[in-house]
Structures are given as structure tokens and as C-alpha cells.
Amino acid sequence: MFEEYRDIVTVGELCVMLRICPARAYALLNSGQIKEFRPGRMWQIPKTSVIEYIERQMSSDNNL
């Protein structure tokens, strides 16, 4: 999944990956739903965190 992306993605790439707007991306990051780190001013998002978020969303949808 997402082989075309590097191991660390940007907020812009996250928006494309999830097809969401930047405001929603920042909300997911600020809430901790997608894990990130900020060694400076730029958000660094592990691609594995995005995949884990998608898997959690899929499993919660299946539990309905």
C-alpha cells in the first residue's frame, strides 16, 4: 500500500493519500489519530502511521 511514497510523508502527501483537505489532516494529526513527529517546524508522518490509521478505520467500519 502506498509504494509510491517514501517512508516519511508530508501533510500534503497525507491529504492526497487519504483524499482529505489540509484542515482534516491537521485535525487527525493534532488528535493523535495519525502518529507524527516534528523535529522542527515541519510535520513528519511515518507512512506506517497512515496505513495503521486506515486499517483501524476499516476494522471499526466492519464492527458496525
> Residue 35 has what pLDDT?
97
Q: In terms of Cα–Cα distance, which of 28, 1, 17 is closest to 9?
A: 17
> Residue 20 has what pLDDT?
98
Instruction: Name the pLDDT band for 64 (thresholds 50, 70, 90).
Output: low
pLDDT at 63 over 90: no
Global pTM? 0.90
Write the DSSP string, 32-58.
TSS--B-SSSS-BEEHHHHHHHHHHHH
Give residue-wise pLDDT tens across range 3-29.
999 999 999 999 999 999 999 999 999
